[in-house]
Structure formats: C-alpha cells, structure tokens
C-alpha cells in the first residue's frame, strides 16, 4: 500500500462526503434470518452491509474478537476484507498491546497477513509496544486514549503529576511514537468533554470516536467536539445501529446526514480557527446549562428584593454528572498557567463544583465553614493545609463579590496566600473591580455578555431578551 493511510482516509471521506465508519462485528445469534441459510451466514451478512453502505462511509471497522470467536473466523474475516472496495480504508479493531517479538508478530499478522490499513492499539506498555506497528509507514495506528465504556474514567481520568488527567498525557505522548506521523487517537463519543480536551492538545490528529448508537453517545456533541476546522479529523464509528437495522443503507444514510449536519452547523469554528475545540466546548456547555434550567430568563426577584430579567442557579449542576464534569474542565482551562497548591470552595453552591474541579486537576480542596462548629475541633476551615500555600478560590458566579471577599478574608487570616478567584459566570455587576481592589484576579469562564451572545447565536435567545438584559446590566453597573 503505497498511499499513506490518512491520505487514503481523507480521500474516501471527501469522495463519499462522509465521516461515518461502519463496524463489521457479527455474531451468529444476531445474524438476520435472511442470511442463516447461506453457506457462510456471517460472510453473507457482511457482504450485504458492505454492498448497501460502501458509498456512504469513510471506513469500515471489523473487530477481530468477533471473528476469533468463530470456528473458521479468520478465513471469514479475510473473505470479508476482500469484499471491501480498495479505495475504502479498513481499521481493524484489535486493541493490541505487547512488547518485543510478540508485538512484532501482531504487527505482521495485522498488516502483512490481513493487510488492513490501520489498527487500534493500547498505550499501556509504552512506546516500545507500538514501535513494530509504527515501522509500517503507510498504515495508521489509533492509540486508545479515552475509551467509550462507562468505566473508562476510573483509570483514564486519574490525575498525573502535572495535574492533567492520564488520557491527556497519553494523547500528548502517543503522537510522538512514530516518525511517520501516522498515529491517531481513540476517544469515545460518550465523553464529548474528553474529545474537546484531547482536540486542544492534538489539533491536527484524526480521532476514532466509537460510542454513537447502542452506547448512547451524543452524535452532534461528539462531532462538534472532535471536528477540525477543515471539517475532517473525526471518524464516527457505528456498528449495531447500522448492521442490526432492518435497512442498513437507510440507517447509514441517516447517520451520515446527521454527522454532516453537525459538521456544517459550526460557524464559531470557522470564526475562530485557532481554537475550534474550545469554542465548541464553550457553546456546548452554555447550551446544556440553559437546557438544564441553570440559566433562565423572565421576571425574578433576587435575594436583595430587586427585580431581575434573568436568574442563574448553578446549584443544578449536581443533577447532571456529565455536565458537572464538563464545567470542571472549563474551570480548569480558565486556570491554565495559574500556580496554586489548593482549591477553596465557597459554601454552598461552589462546593460540588470545587470537588469536581479537584478531581479533574488533581489538586486538594478545602472550604471555609459558614458557621464555625461549637463542638469537636471547632474548625473554621475544613481540609488539610499549611500557612503560606497558594489557594485559588472557586465560586459558581460573581455579582458584587461580597461573599467571595468574606471567604478570602478568612483564608488570608489563616495564613494562606489568595490572589486568584475562578468562577463560571461573571455577572459584570462590579465584582471584578471589587476583587481587584482586594488584590484578587478574577478568572471567569464566561462573562454575562458572552452568555447572552452565545445563547443568541445558538438560537436560544431572541434579540429582544438580549436587549432587555443588556439594559438591565447597564442600569445595574456600578458608578
């Protein structure tokens, strides 16, 4: 195969206008009745799927386990591979990972005997386990980064010494494991926030994104998080939702259309080509906050007794673990480059946010009590800490900054160094200036103006409401 794998993949994606990859993962018990009388039912089923979808896909992905489980499975796999048009690349889902002669034998079997175009590999044993595969300059290697299964986070999101989760370290290191630049990454569509984070550290890589369909991944969110500015870079892998459909062609065509709709419905990416993943992630986060009801527009009375055309209730984040993780990632991005030893959550709304951020960045959390206990140790600050440590205060939002300043005063009185505050939303009602007067720098994921602009751009907020809130902000602005 003289042509480089990623060149072949790009050509197929453009020719078929598709980022859909159909999995060929047959089992005898799932074989449709129409093929059970064939001499080789599995082969007949695969042939029908390929014939129905060859002009709708960018690649096919057989999982070798399903063939190894059959009596004559490898012969069936080889016969299936011969049915695939030569211009359509094949990614063998094998998840191999070993060292020395064992890795070389795997590479020989996969690339010489089966002659597939690409393979999935485990990074757990390091660069030397990938080296025999990387010697094949024209083939593609997809390294497992953040997988699609529910238990993936338990290991793959563990913090490393740098504070970044393990899967991001894998992304950064794995891309250096071949001099031929033929490495892509496997990032599950069930974790769009991970897709976003990996895209930030690997802006040019191709991602293989399984998890749409039977695993419940959000197709649009996955595409928008993974896509590059050239509308390529993401392979959306779907198996059962196509192979098990009563009409595989119709199912594949619908999936391709949905993927393409998500590819083109991204004006913010075109407007900000330097950081597409960050823009997509921000829009996704705001949209989900709005849909959760954490950002509302109407007529409300605030705790001060004053009327307001909007109400922000970020306490609702605890009701959506996936969104809480996404918010934590956004907080972490807002703190990029800020040196600190610990986080301090402001009771009460910011405490679960602080805990999620602590898990995301691997930094310990403490929090001041609103009421000091009159029993036990009588602590004013919960958690372990030492005077002189640098602490970032975590808040859900800031208005005037009054409650934040009380927390800062308590922490400073205990001997902690506090110079930074991070919030999800700055309501732009004097908080930034008040914090600055106290020697504090505010790091906000969003200003309220950005919230309005993004929701309006997404079609969730009409111009009249935007104008009403802007007038309210102007009236409330400190003199």
Q: What is the pLDDT of residue 278?
A: 54
Q: What is the pLDDT of residue 304?
A: 64
Q: What is the pLDDT of residue 380?
A: 80
Q: What is the pLDDT of residue 301?
A: 85
Q: What is the pLDDT of residue 329?
A: 86
Structure-block tokens of residue 391? 């602490």
Which residues lie below 8 Å from residue 432, measured CB to CB, with a gap of 6+? Answer: 398, 401, 426, 442, 444
Q: What is the pLDDT of residue 79?
A: 97
The domains of the chain are located at 5-265, 286-476
HEC string of 298-362?
Answer: EEEECCCCCEEEEEECHHHHHHCHHHHHHHHHHHHHHCCCCCCCEEEECCCCHHHHHHHHHHHHC
Helix-strand-coil split of the chain, %, nearest 5: 45, 20, 35
Which residues lie below 8 Å from residue 7, measured CB to CB, with a gap of 6+? Answer: none
What does pTM read for this prediction? 0.60
Structure-block tokens of residue 200? 């930030």
Catalytic choice (8, 15, 61, 95): 95
Q: What is the pLDDT of residue 373?
A: 54
Average pLDDT of adjacent 10-residue blocks, the chain of 479 residues: 83 96 95 94 97 97 96 95 97 96 96 97 95 96 94 87 83 91 94 89 92 80 90 94 93 94 62 45 82 92 79 93 87 88 92 93 88 58 92 95 92 96 94 95 94 85 90 71
CA 342 to chain CA mean position, Å: 25
Structure letter (DSSP) for residue 400: S
Which pairs from 404-411 meet CB under 8 Å and 24+ separation?
404/346, 404/431, 404/435, 404/440, 405/434, 405/435, 405/438, 407/344, 407/346, 407/368, 408/438, 408/440, 410/368, 410/380, 410/381, 411/344, 411/368, 411/381
Separation CA 343–CA 418 (nearest Å): 10
Domain 286-476 has CATH 3.40.50.2020: yes
Q: What is the pLDDT of residue 303?
A: 66
CATH code for the domain defined by 5-265: 3.20.20.70
Q: What is the pLDDT of residue 285?
A: 85
Instruction: Note if 51 is an active site residue.
Output: no
């Amino acid at each position: 195969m003289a042509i480089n794998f990623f060149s072949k993949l790009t050509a197929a994606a453009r020719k078929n206008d598709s980022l859909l990859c159909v999995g060929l993962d047959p089992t005898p018990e799932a074989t449709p009745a129409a093929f059970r009388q064939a001499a080789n039912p599995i082969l007949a089923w695969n042939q029908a799927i390929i014939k129905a979808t060859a002009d709708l896909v960018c690649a096919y992905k057989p999982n070798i386990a399903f063939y190894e489980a059959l009596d004559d499975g490898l012969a069936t796999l080889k016969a299936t591979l011969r049915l695939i048009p030569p211009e359509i690349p094949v990614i063998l889902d094998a998840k191999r990972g070993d060292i020395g002669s064992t890795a070389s034998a795997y590479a020989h079997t996969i690339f010489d005997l089966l002659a597939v175009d690409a393979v999935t590999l485990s990074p757990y044993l390091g660069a030397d386990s990938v080296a025999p595969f990387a010697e094949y300059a024209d083939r593609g290697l997809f390294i497992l980064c953040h997988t699609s299964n529910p238990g993936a986070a338990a290991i793959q999101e563990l913090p490393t010494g740098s504070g970044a989760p393990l899967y991001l370290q894998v992304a950064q290191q794995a891309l250096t494991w071949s001099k031929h630049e033929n490495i892509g990454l496997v990032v599950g569509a069930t974790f769009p926030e991970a897709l976003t984070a990996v895209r930030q550290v690997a802006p040019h890589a191709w991602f293989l994104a399984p998890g749409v369909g039977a695993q419940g991944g959000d197709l649009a969110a996955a595409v928008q998080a993974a896509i590059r500015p050239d509308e390529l870079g993401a392979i959306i892998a779907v198996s059962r939702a196509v192979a098990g459909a009563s009409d595989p062609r119709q199912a594949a065509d619908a999936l391709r259309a949905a993927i393409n709709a998500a590819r083109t419905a991204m004006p913010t990416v075109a407007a900000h080509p330097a950081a597409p993943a960050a823009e997509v992630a921000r829009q996704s986060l705001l949209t989900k906050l709005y849909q959760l009801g954490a950002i509302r527009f109407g007529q409300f009375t605030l705790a001060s007794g004053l009327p307001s055309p909007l109400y922000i209730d970020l306490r609702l984040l605890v009701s959506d673990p996936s969104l809480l993780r996404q918010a934590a990632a956004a907080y972490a991005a807002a703190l990029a480059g800020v040196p600190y030893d610990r986080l301090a959550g402001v009771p009460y709304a910011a405490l679960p946010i602080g805990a999620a951020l602590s898990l995301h960045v691997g930094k310990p959390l403490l929090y001041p009590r609103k009421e000091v206990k009159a029993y036990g140790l009588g602590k004013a600050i919960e958690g372990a800490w030492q005077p002189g440590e640098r602490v970032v205060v975590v808040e859900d939002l800031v208005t005037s900054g009054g409650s934040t300043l009380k927390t800062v005063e308590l922490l400073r009185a205990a001997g902690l160094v506090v110079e930074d505050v991070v919030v999800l939303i700055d309501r732009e009602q004097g908080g930034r200036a008040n914090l600055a007067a106290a020697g504090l720098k505010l790091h906000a994921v969003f200003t309220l103006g950005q919230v309005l602009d993004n929701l309006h751009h997404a079609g969730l907020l009409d111009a009249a409401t935007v104008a009403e809130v802007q007038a309210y902000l102007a009236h409330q602005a400190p003199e």
